[in-house]
Amino acid sequence: MPEQEAPAAREIEKLFRLMVKYGASDLHLKVGSPPVLRISGSLRNLELPPLSAPQVKKLIYEILNEHQQKVLEDVGDVDLAYAVEDTLRLRINAFHQRGALSLAARLVNAEIPSFHDLHLPPETMERIASFDQGFVIITGPTGSGKSTTLASLIEYINNTRRCHIVTIEDPIEYTYTDRRAIINQREVGIDVQSFREALKYVVRQDPDVILLGEMRDTETVQAGLAASETGHLVFGTLHAATVSQAFTRLLEFFEAGRQQAIRTSLRFNLRSIIAQKLLAGCKPEVPRVPALEIMLVNAPIAKMIEEANDVKILDVIKSARDEGMLDFNRSMYELIQNEYITKAVGKQAATNPQALEAMLQGVFQRESALT
């Protein structure tokens, strides 16, 4: 990639540095509005004049190479990663809206956080990272921290296993340094022309672990399943709010006549689904904290998957806490009890606010009985 030293690039880098100064996770540029930062989950305008269409276009185009400019013009949006002097790294999406350009940039930590840093349950996450074969899916809405959770899993493997990891990303967000593992990261549009081409050859590259990034179509899901069937550990992400919705989303990629065969493959090869939401924290040092739903495939769940009895999987998750499983309400309850989130935030995000309230009241009643 050519050196990016144009004045406009330096101007946008000033905005990127303001993200760090104000503790922002995201930056938004839109014609007719001043630059906007997302700080602790809330959008806040910078005290700057509204941006004109030429200003936004100049800012965006100075950080795109020729290929990325062409994709933006032909397709309407483009993903990329951008680094500022090796100290800041951002995931960026530039896109057209109402005939003008806009940009959304997310700050990516230079250091890959640990499970402890992310407030993820270490024992369960270590167990998931230690599978030698199978399919692991991280799911949640946009901005829920899926990529960061995935990076923490890959880095744990990197630190603990002698293996070959191949990632296929669009774009690369976190960069890894080989430790015990060898890691090859392939960025779509730079290292390989398309996901299709990368998936075609990935199993020929002698991987032990494959990171597929976001699974956006039938081909990607099928490639992930096929790789897990042939002895690889495969990680991927989906846009779905809960574990049960993840099953629905997976099956939607396939015609009805193929869905039973996909269920059979999932029964034998799916290892875990982690669904997560990022919530506003109430501790200054922890402004955002994940609420989790974690499913680990055991014998009852495997049977339910094949028999299309997905609605009962949540019951197994709730009753299998000793196996490391976790449902959203239990996660919210623990976050409230440990004072990471407020009761109001937990109830607003809970899948069943009434059940969460009952859990909290039960605790308070037991505490009253002891006093």
- What φ, ψ does residue 294 adopt, rounded to 5°? -120, 125
Inform me whether the pLDDT recorded for 292 exceeds 50: yes
pLDDT at position 363 is 55
pLDDT at position 91 is 87
Q: How confident is the model at residue 343 (pLDDT cuts 50, 70, 90)?
A: very high
Q: pLDDT by residue (tens digit) across 57-109?
A: 999 999 998 989 999 999 999 988 888 876 788 889 999 998 899 999 998 87
Give the DSSP H or E segment for 83.
Answer: strand 77-84
Cβ atoms of 174 and 153 within 8 Å: the answer is no
Inform me whether the pLDDT recorded for 6 exceeds 60: no
pLDDT at position 206 is 94
Task: Compute the distance between CA of residue 159 and CA of residue 75 in angstroms, rounded to an integer.
Answer: 39
pTM greater than the 0.75 cutoff: yes
Longest dimension (CA), the chain: 70
Strand, helix or coil for residue 96: strand
pLDDT at position 175 is 87
Q: What is the chain's mean pLDDT, rounded?
A: 89
pLDDT at position 87 is 74
Q: pLDDT by residue (tens digit) across 35-61?
A: 999 987 789 999 999 999 999 999 999
Of residues 8 and 182, the one with the higher pLDDT is 182
pLDDT at position 368 is 38
Q: Give the whole-number percent of the chain exceeding pLDDT 90.
A: 69
Over range 153-181, report the average pLDDT: 93
Task: Compute the distance between CA of residue 301 and CA of residue 71 in angstroms, rounded to an integer.
Answer: 42
What domains, with CATH codes, occur in the chain? 7-108 (3.30.450.90), 122-326 (3.40.50.300)
Q: pLDDT by residue (tens digit) across 303-314?
A: 999 999 988 999
Q: pLDDT by residue (tens digit) across 135-151?
A: 999 999 888 999 999 99
Give the DSSP H or E segment for 238.
Answer: strand 233-238
Q: Which amino acid would we find at residue 102?
A: S
pLDDT at position 172 is 83
188 DSSP β-pair partners: 192
Q: How confident is the model at residue 3 (pLDDT cuts 50, 70, 90)?
A: very low
Task: Compute the distance between CA of residue 187 and CA of residue 181 in angstroms, rounded to an integer.
Answer: 19
Task: Compute the distance between CA of residue 83 and CA of residue 69 in angstroms, rounded to an integer.
Answer: 18
